[in-house]
A and B are shown apart, each in its own frame.
Chain A
Amino acid sequence: MSEAKQYKYIGTRSIRPDGFDKVTGRANYGADMSLPGMIWGKILRSPHAHAKIKSIDTTKAEALAGVLAIASYNDFPSVADEVVATGEGSSNLLDLANNILAKDKVLYHGHAILAIGARTAAIAEQALGLVEIEYEVLKPVLDVNDAMAADAPVLHDNMFTQGLAETPTKASNIAARQEFKMGDVEAGFAEADLIVERDFYTPTVHQGYIEPHACTARYDADGQSMLWCSTQGHFDVRASTAKLLSLNLNRLKVIASEIGGGFGGKTTVYLEPVALILSKKSGRPVKMIMDRDEVFKASGPGSATRNWVKIGAKKDGTITAMQALLHYEAGAFKGSPVMMGCMTAFTPYAVPNMYVEGYDVVVNKPKVAAYRAPGAPQAEYAAEMVVNEIADKLGIDPIDLRLQNAAKEGTQTIYGPKLKAVGLVECLEAAKNSPQYQEALKENQGRGVAAGFWFNVGGQSSVTLNMNPDGTGTIVEGSPDIGGSRASMQLMAAEELGMPAENLKPIIGDTENVAFSAGTGGSRTTFATGMAVIEAAQDVVRQLKERSAAVWNLTADQIEYAEGETFSGDNRMTVAEICAGAERTGGQITGRGNINARGAGPSFAVHLCDVEVDKDTGKVDVLRYTAVQDAGKAIHPSYVEGQLQGGAVQGIGWALNEEYVYSADGHMENAGFLDYRIPLASDLPMIDAIIVEVPNPFHPFGVRGVGESGIIPPLAATAYAVSQAIGLPITDLPCSPPNVLKVIQDNA
């Protein structure tokens, strides 16, 4: 891929095929499906953060006119203690069931206990109020420090820390320990002229997708069932729901609605199995919709973390050793992304001596779910803050320090493989040459630089490309489109077939009309599903040649294909002509691309953030922001820029104002967008997006996923800019006005 290829369709900014439906409001989202005879399901949620359920009496609720079904944990067929894949991660089936409907203990404020299906939402709501539950309220643990204390209340009496030399016999809130090492950190620190170490805190944050979880379920008398839901992976919904309800996969059709944001949070199930149980018991279709309060309290946020980082460097800027100790909150059930934190923390650096230790800790908060580059922003925040401090103390430009130590092709990672071609150096250089980096700062202003690394994944994708008799085609893929990926699929097929993008319509098939495809997560869709699209298009080309060969009495290897035409000597046929004649040459043409994509290329990002701090109030204004990222090859540059900008904005929100606020007894106090403050359009400047293209050698067009890396650097870029503006170290997020003012006043 050394020379830049010329492309006709990819790299253009075509109109997205789903755009018209979305701007006119015609697109159908999770809550938009209604069926004849449908009833409404509502969930009764725990008012306590930690309590034993002593008894449940539903007599009065059942007696209410209009109540048709009640679902509880006991309605799950016997659930096994096994692991199921759920989108970007995996879940223990027992934990998943227990999270969906609590068995005998509630583990967080908002934990679902039972569900009621009734003729109207109001009746269901009223019936919830008639359920009588007796609790034995327990003391909650709300932070890793509390959870790990010797006398901490234990959430699960069968949880024994995994990953220690010897498994303990006493149950604790520490689910697992992990460690990654490379070289000898002690020897590395001994070589260092400067060592900086600090503790950092990041709060619980939510993905903040605008569309709440919603589904419509129908369980039919013949045992067939259907789910319509807003999800990043309908095959994963099918897998976990079928497991939980002991259904064969061919008995459950899952249709992915349009999706109003997910960011990792829609890779598991909450309502779907419950709606099916209610439907089975009532004999009616059931619709369930979470309100915003429920989304905050009871879907899966991102882990709060306490992380310690120590880095040593020589005077000339050579980093000699990097060490971290990470503690991630998993929420009520084990399974935080701490391992990803361990693997990503120091990967932007080519340093021989590294040691990272991570702990997965349960607390009385909702079970975390994936959130855009799950686990990476928190660990890399801590690492990048210390790298910046090292640069400052050594008097070296922070980009130069990173260039000097940058990971590149061949760099050994702490998690095993050596990096293949990557674009960190190119991103650093682009950031250094950016207009923003040339601009001088004024009083009360500060600048922060940070890098970010995310692996990206490949995995299974299935595509069929059905050609129509007029030569147009329908691309049926199995990856829900959360970021404009249908436009990219269209462009890649157009490039391969040499025909206009609008002649190829991309759709998301349901679980019955396309083969298994992994969910949209891990920045995989444009990379992996794109490869399946390319393969399906190549399959179509192969068949077009065969059909032409049959007509011209030649063999397929004598036929060329370009620009939507087959040709051989003076013979020429357009795709439309071949498709129109398909009836006579063997039937209609369908291309297939069923793959397990390997070779996902990591995407590095480098961000610059300039802020001004009002030192009297602690308020931070972002003045200017540049997001640089390696896209490998930008198939649709507008949506790549959108990913860079969106990641930056979410990360800035994480850095500045977003946090779950809990009372001492574990009640979430800001379960709404008024007091859980994501950035508004008016809060931020336009994010300057710079796309770097270092092709991924394992993708036909060089694509790297770009969905996630962009959320990693903003935490440190923003927080370090704040610390520069106030001349004081920042360690704890968010940099909200009260927190920043406190840092200023404590040091006055």
Chain B
Amino acid sequence: MPVVEYKVPENIDAAVSMLSNTKLSTKVMAGGTDLIIQSRAQSSDPLVVIDIKRIDSMMTAAIVDGGLHLGPSMSCAQLTARSDIKAIYPGLVEAAYLIGSTQVQGRCSVGGNLCNASPAADTIPALIVNGAECVIHGPKGERTVAAEDFAVGVGRNCMEQGELLTRIQIPAPAAKTSDAYLRFIPRTEMDIAVAGAAVSVTLDADGTCTAARVSIGAVATTALLVTEAADALIGTKLEDAALNAAAAAATAASKPITDRRGTIEFRRHVVGVLTRRAAVIAAQRAKEK
């Protein structure tokens, strides 16, 4: 795809206006770690690129009332360096830390990960279990979509032409709540999840799980919120039976495919293993809070 126009808006309104008033295929670029590779594909369609890195609010993150307002284009390297954010959402930060390599993390972003809508995106399950909301600006104004509803298919998100993801908002977690994200790859890095699982749990004083969210990735066309797996944890002290039930629920909810990265059987099994392990880590973290 030859890039015929490269635009650099200074604010969200300008970006939305540029996105709305174009007849050519238009792509928003943050770090470009997915876009640049995709643009090498064999296609002669001209492409307009809108680089939104000059917009301050897209590139920064702030703790607001104990929750997170995350600029979607802030690099994962900047995010993972933020100890204040990591203290609240360690699972989300570890998901961001797993993307690509150190070099790639200097450019890639959580918002880009969301918008690219890969079934294997590492940060999406972590956003889902933390109840993240995606704030979208468009010609008709602002709307908010839950993270689990943002991706609607392989490589497809819920935004219409002219819309821009402008903020990721994560509510303050309840007391004694924490999260964890695990993915399976055959190597140690530089790979794409064969399966992934994020778990958030809230414990009461005696260690009983009072709330939980479970999300699994790379085992369906989009990351899935698995309420059955969460229900298996809620009301228990996360003993083996509960963990096994959550794992089984994750396996049951998964709808993977067989491809060069893994078979259906392998992915279904491993997503259960990851769910169980992530629940144990999240619970340990919640206890330490």
Contact = CB atoms under 8 A, between A and B. Distances in A.
Contacts of B184: 617, 619, 737
Contacts of A656: 186
A741 interface: yes
B6 interface: no
A674 B188 contact: no
B142 interface: no
B188 A683 contact: yes
A677 interface: yes
A737 B188 contact: no
A738 B266 contact: yes
A656 B185 CA distance: 13
Given A617-B184, A617-B270, A617-B273, A738 B262 contact: yes
A618 B266 CA distance: 10
A404 interface: no
B189 A682 contact: yes
Contacts of A661: 260
Interface in A594-618: 616-618
A657 B42 CA distance: 30
A582 B259 CA distance: 70
A674 B184 CA distance: 14
Interface string B241-266: 00000000000000000011111011
A670 B189 contact: no
Nearest to A738: B266
A680 B265 CA distance: 26
Contact of A737 (B42, B186, B259): B186
Contact of B192 (A674, A680, A683): A674
Contact of A677 (B187, B262, B270, B273): B187
A679 interface: yes
Contact of A619 (B44, B186, B190, B263): B186
A673 to B, nearest CB: 8
Contacts of B190: 674, 680
A42 to B, nearest CB: 12
A680 B189 contact: yes
Interface in A642-679: 656-657, 661, 669-670, 674-675, 677, 679
B237 interface: no
Interface string A690-723: 0000000000000000000000000000000000
Contacts of A617: 184, 270, 273
A374 to B, nearest CB: 26
A736 interface: yes
B192 to A, nearest CB: 7
B191 interface: yes
A708 B188 CA distance: 27
Given A617-B270, A737-B266, A741-B269, A675 B187 contact: no
Nearest to A676: B260
Contacts of A741: 266, 269-270
Contact of A657 (B186, B263, B269): B186
Highest count of chain B CB atoms <10 Å: which of A674, A677, A738, A741: A738
A619 B269 CA distance: 13
Contacts of B187: 657, 677, 679-680, 682-683
B240 to A, nearest CB: 14
The winner among B194, B263, B265, B269 for most chain A CB atoms within 10 A is B269
Contacts of A675: 260-261
B260 A670 contact: yes
A741 B265 CA distance: 10
Interface string B126-143: 000000000000000000
Contacts of B188: 680, 682-683
Contacts of A126: 44
A683 B190 CA distance: 11
A472 B263 CA distance: 62
Interface string A719-748: 000000000000000001110011001000
Interface string A610-630: 000000111100000000000
A736 B270 CA distance: 14
Contacts of A669: 259-260
Please list the 6 inter-chain residue pairs (A to B) with the smallest Cβ-Cβ separation, ordered nearest first.
A738-B266, A682-B188, A616-B273, A670-B260, A669-B260, A661-B260
Interface of B: 42, 44, 184, 186-192, 194, 259-263, 265-266, 269-270, 273
15 contacts: A618-B266, A657-B187, A669-B259, A670-B260, A675-B260, A677-B187, A680-B189, A682-B188, A683-B188, A737-B184, A737-B266, A738-B263, A741-B270, A742-B265, A742-B266
Given A674-B190, A737-B270, 4 more contacts: A126-B44, A617-B273, A675-B260, A680-B187
